[in-house]
Structure 1
Amino acid sequence: MAAAGAGADALPSCPNTALYVRLPNWVGDVCMSLPSLEALLDTGLPVIACARPWARDLLAAYPLAGFIPMTGGWRADRAAVRNVRRQAPTGRRPLGLLLPDSLSSALVFRFAGIPCAGYRDDGRSLILRWPCAKPAGPLHAVQSWYHLTRHALAQWRLAEPAPQPADELCWRAAVAHEDEASRALSQAGLASGGFVLIAPTATGLHKGRVKVWPGFDSLTRSLQARGLTVAMAPPEAERQAARETAPTALLLPPLGLGAFATLTRRAALVICNDSGVSHLGAAAQARQITLFGVTDPTRTGPWSNRAVRMGRMGAWPAAAEVLSAALEILDTSPAA
């Protein structure tokens, strides 16, 4: 019997099924979708991730059956997905899960011949084979994508995960990530647990407002005055902004996403804006302070029990408050 609400399109699990998942477009969002990706992998079926090119490195340790880089142009992305489908074993049925809400992501899978599940949004309900209504109550992004994933697995009559995601992310690091982080620390003369990692940049605006906490310079100097090493490793495009925001911090070379996530776990403490770094740290289970001033902690805060959230939408925390919280964590947390 088909699962409730599944209709004639529901199908039993079979070895000739492959799962295609369109991951979100932002670093932090990919981190927050990891419980959903794990749920798909737990089915034992081949999982092909469709995501921005940088996500390949972040997901290097995951046993994916394939990775299709997405450019954001729906025609090019459709061609890329269709090409991979043509190379798949004959008779393998594709099923798609769309985590982004966009119409373009639905068009890519539809015209690549992949029936898909996704949230009803952006006028795309008629394109989706298994549309899902968004929950009535506000959910954190981790919970929202996990809810959608459980919906899809139920419609496909595949094994469903637990009703709620675990209360922490658990990203898988590759050996290459560990090695790259170790080299960066060695070259800088740093030891694991012997430095505070700051991330004093955040790209873009949120509703026209800058997402960067204004106290990084003051905080860095206060920590240094207490004999603490403060380091940062921004991507190449953000290095100048990082220098201007925290000019006395030790500047490490840019790292790949996986190596940077590993670096957050090696730090005694990570202090960052509500940005991709916050979610990379949460995924790597780093100790961190995430600073809020223009975004909502309940929706996009780090999904971690090791994170301290300071500030709120419309009110940045004071530098003295952040310094006090940082010193308390450093005094009570063992070295990594």
Structure 2
Amino acid sequence: MKALGPFPAGAAGAGRILVRGNNWIGDVVLSTPAFRALRTRFPRAEISVLAKPWVIPILRHNPDIDRILLYDAGGRHRGILGVHRLGRDLRRERFDAAFLFQRAFEAAWIARLSRIPVRVGYATDGRGWLLTHAVPATPESLLVPRVEHNLALLQAVGIAPADRGLVLAPGTEDLNRARVRLEALGIAMDDRLFGLSPGATFGSAKRWSAERFACVAEGLSEQEGAKGLVFGGPAERDIGDQVVRRASKANLVNLAGLTDLEEAVALIGLCGLFLTNDSGLMHVAAALDVPLAAIFGPTDPRTTAPWCRRHVLVRKEGVCCSPCLKRDCDRDHRCMSLITVEDVRSALLDLRQRYGWDPVSVRWERLQGGSGRTVPLVSLGR
């Protein structure tokens, strides 16, 4: 694999870079150390990230990127003709290089249509011929943490990691909205707050039962005097309602579908404890250094475990069919059903004993001085 030469010739650190972002919230969070590596290697470059609408909030306050380019998959860039239109839109931007963290054929095809002279990506999905720097992807290379996988792509072309920490900070306005929300819910700054993420957009196989989430929430409220928030998107509103309804003794509010992602990020950052399935919000909590317990069943913790120090993994070892990576279980869902309420309570107790449980006020102070900068969002072709 050849390394990148001077970029562009005679202007080390300058130029125009396109990054093809991933399509899942968690994957975008796990890409942020790679953004930092690009910024460190090319300090004067203009770095633009091409992203679909639902992941843009994760990028809006990232200090390492200059622009977000809207991939309007539901409108201007929809379908085959839309992809070719996107290629023409990007061609006008005259990028010097593209780094493709999204591994699908489409990402490489768009970069080729855009006539970007340097195209770096993994040789997956039969797309190696579309890349100028096609990095081999062996089965072993796919079974490493996503952060390391992304950084390995850059290392293959001579770009060293800057650091391996996740980069995510709520915007100042979003933090203020979160505080107003908490006040309206009767949650004070000296309260201890926990968050629950009982959904998982990928599929039902990743979800621990709503009834068991409710049992854990009741214990946290009754024994610790804590207050809780349920997080998720509009499609997870019903799951959140089930948890709240069954946790009748808990001081618990379902916010699934009631906040935008920016406000949810800020609210999660104010929690002192987080219980979650393997989901995008799990990675948000990890990036915000919230102590968390993550429940894993059909997915592989070798690749998608929380990338943070303050976490506990809850998983049943020895389940013959796990990890299966299926969206929906066609058997008895044993990898999740064998995880008991006591297993999770024990994990949360371990977290509290090791890291404590900060009240909202302490979490608030830690988030101050976050990002007051907003990355511009560009609608292509308009």
TM-score when scaled to structure 1? 0.85
Pick from 294, 297, 305 the counterpart of residue 293 of structure 1: 297
Deviations 1:68-110 (A, max 9, x none): 1222745424423532542x4xxx5521011111111111111
**Alignment partner, residue 33 of structure 2:** 35
Q: Does 1:195 align with 2:193?
A: yes
Q: Does 1:69 align with 2:67?
A: no
**Higher mean C-alpha displacement, 133-142 vs 74-83:** 74-83
**Alignment partner, residue 155 of structure 2:** 150
Preserved CA contact (<8 Å) 2:269 2:290:
yes
Where does 1:52-91 land on structure 2 (aligned, <5 Å)?
A: 52-63=52-63, 64-70=65-71, 71=73, 73=79, 75-80=81-86, 82-86=88-92, 88=93
Where does 1:229-244 land on structure 2 (aligned, <5 Å)?
A: 229-244=227-242
Preserved CA contact (<8 Å) 2:244 2:253:
no
**3-state secondary structure, aligned to 1:240:** helix
Preserved CA contact (<8 Å) 1:216 1:246:
no
**Alignment partner, residue 255 of structure 1:** 259
Structure 1: tracts of 5 or more residues without a match: none
Deviations 1:133-164 (A, max 9, x none): 12544311111011112334x2xxxx6334xx
Matched residues in 2 for 1:191 and 1:12: separation?
56
Preserved CA contact (<8 Å) 1:106 1:124:
yes
Displacement of 1:290 in angstroms is 0.5
Displacement of 1:10 in angstroms is 7.2
Where does 1:1-336 land on structure 2 (aligned, <5 Å)?
A: 5-6=2-3, 11-12=8-9, 14=11, 17-42=15-40, 43-44=42-43, 45-63=45-63, 64-70=65-71, 71=73, 73=79, 75-80=81-86, 82-86=88-92, 88=93, 93-115=95-117, 116-134=119-137, 136-137=140-141, 138-152=143-157, 154=158, 160-162=160-162, 165-166=163-164, 168-192=165-189, 194-205=192-203, 210-214=205-209, 215-226=212-223, 227-247=225-245, 248=247, 249-252=252-255, 254-312=258-316, 313=322, 315-316=335-336, 317-330=339-352, 332-335=355-358, 336=363
**Higher mean C-alpha displacement, 22-31 vs 71-80:** 71-80
Displacement of 1:65 in angstroms is 2.8
**Higher mean C-alpha displacement, 233-242 vs 248-257:** 248-257
Structure 1 residues 10 and 268, CA, compared in 2 at 3 Å: closer, same or farther? closer
**3-state secondary structure, aligned to 1:54:** helix
Q: Aligned-residue CA RMSD in angstroms? A: 2.5
Q: Number of residues paired by the alignment? A: 318
Structure 2: tracts of 5 or more residues without a match: 317-321, 323-333, 364-382
Structure 1 residues 122 and 328, CA, compared in 2 at 3 Å: closer, same or farther? closer
Matched residues in 2 for 1:8 and 1:36: separation?
19
Matched residues in 1 for 2:314 and 2:289: separation?
18
Structure 1 residues 76 and 176, CA, compared in 2 at 3 Å: closer, same or farther? farther
**3-state secondary structure, aligned to 1:329:** helix
Structure 1 residues 13 and 123, CA, compared in 2 at 3 Å: closer, same or farther? farther
**Higher mean C-alpha displacement, 302-311 vs 13-22:** 13-22
TM-score when scaled to structure 2? 0.76
1:210 maps to a residue whose letter is A
**Higher mean C-alpha displacement, 181-190 vs 297-306:** 181-190
Displacement of 1:125 in angstroms is 0.9
**3-state secondary structure, aligned to 2:156:** helix
Structure 1 residues 75 and 113, CA, compared in 2 at 3 Å: closer, same or farther? farther
Preserved CA contact (<8 Å) 1:75 1:108:
no
Displacement of 1:202 in angstroms is 1.2
